Copies of this chain bind each other. A is one copy, B any other.
Amino acid sequence: MTRGTGRGGGSAAPRSVDVARLAGVSQKTVSRVFNDEPYVSADVRRRVLEAAEQLGYRLNNAARALASGRTRSIGVVTLGTALYGPATLLMGVERVVRDTGYALRVVNTMEGDPAGIAGAVDSLLDQGVDGIVISEPIDEPIDEESDESDGVGDGGDVPVRVGVPVLVIGAPPPFPAATVLTAGGRADLMARAATEHLLDLGHVTVRHLAGPQRWYAARDRLEGWRAALAAHGRDVPPVVEGDWSAASGYAAGRVLADDPEVTAVFVANDDMAIGLIRALVEAGRRVPEDVSVVGFDDIPVAGYVTPPLTTVRQPFDAVAQEGLKRLVHAIENPQADPLPVSDPPVDLIIRSSTAPPPSRTTPGHGRRRTASRSGREGRP
């Protein structure tokens, strides 16, 4: 075969020389037009565009990447099959990336994946990307040597030399690469607000159903919960850990239901919160009359389960947007200082799964002030 296999149809795909010939200009001028470079007269530009249209010309990205050394694409490493957070974040990233003119390459890594995040990053580097986004990483340090010297990699098990800027969403920066940026919704602040909401309602303490602690996201939320408790001078009760699934929330709920002291639980995500509530209700503990529950994420059905869930909404879009703006900046201005970070707002959505604790005198029958909460409160 000669060229353009895959371009199908029989006749080969037109190249920029073909367009140049038809437009009566040099090949370089065609290149100029397609790169929006200055110094092309309006007339020439129009002629080139017309010729291109007529031929069905499409810039060959492989050639462009080869010649320029830039692929104009950004890779994303995403974790967790279809968990609401990662999935939503991915969509947000996709939207923003498209606006920046970059293409998106996606690699999904599940927990327990042998190659893990390092493998995903490696495969992205193989594909050739100008920058990498790691979305909601888990604890799994990547062995790297990205030293400026001519050092030959022979350190860890999966040595990866990352020469492109990396944006880590929802985790602290401990990632050795040329440039590392972080972005995040300040989940700790949100967790803190959620916990404080419960404390303000009058609960003596608040239990926490955490996410898997390998996830930074889970640790962040736990930290916020702990901070809220500490700030109010409360003891920090033991943590129960789930795996983000409703099933694990259900299991945790069966345990917590047996403890009459439990009147409020802050759960690290909505799925677990729903499982937890189910277990509580099955055990005869009413929500929110006996036990208040706050979730995290504001998944689409959160406002419609029974009872409608009080939860925290993460600003995924804002995080993706800001993070990518900074990543693209780092890609295009290798030497410049990274752009400043700004904290997103905390968005606590109060629905009907939270209420004051039952009155201590008549355990299990407290019902103060719940009448004011209609079932539809706080729906989107």
A→B interface (CB under 8 Å): 1, 3-11, 13, 54-56, 58-66, 68-71, 73, 81-82, 84, 87-88, 91, 94-95, 98, 103-108, 123, 125-128, 130, 146-150, 152-153, 161, 163-164, 178, 245-247, 249-250, 270-271, 274-275, 277-278, 281-282, 299-301, 303-306, 308, 331, 334, 375-376, 379-380
Query: Looking at chain A's contact residues, is the secondary structure mostly helix, strand, loop, or mixed?
Result: loop
Q: What is the CA–CA distance of A366 and B24 in the complex, to the nearest angstrom?
A: 83
Chain B nearest CB, measured from A115 CB (Å): 10
Report yes or no: B128 in contact with A246, Cβ–Cβ below 8 A. Answer: no
Residue A56 contacts which of B108, B152, B301 (CB distance < 8 angstroms)?
A: B152
Total copies of the chain = 2
Task: Give the distance to chain B from A331, nearest Cβ to Cβ, in Å.
Answer: 8
- In the complex, which residues of chain B have a beta carbon less than 8 angstroms from the beta carbon of A7? 69, 163-164
Closest CB of chain B to A147's CB: distance in Å?
A: 8
> Quick check: B278 and A300 within 8 Å, CB to CB?
no
Q: A8-B178, A108-B95, A150-B11 are in contact. Are A274 and B304 (CB under 8 A)?
A: yes
Report the minimal beta-carbon distance from A188 to chain B, rounded to whole angstroms: 23
Contact of A275 among B105, B277, B282, B301 (CB under 8 A): B301
Complex: A379 Cα to B246 Cα, angstroms: 10
Compute how far the CA of A113 lies from the CA of B278 in the bound complex, rounded to whole angstroms.
39
Can you name 22 A-B residue pairings with CB atoms under 8 Å? A7-B164, A8-B164, A11-B150, A56-B153, A56-B161, A60-B66, A61-B128, A62-B63, A62-B65, A82-B84, A91-B108, A94-B106, A103-B123, A245-B300, A246-B303, A274-B304, A274-B305, A275-B301, A278-B306, A278-B375, A281-B306, A301-B301
Choose one: B5, B54, B63, B271; the contact of A152 (CB below 8 Å).
B54
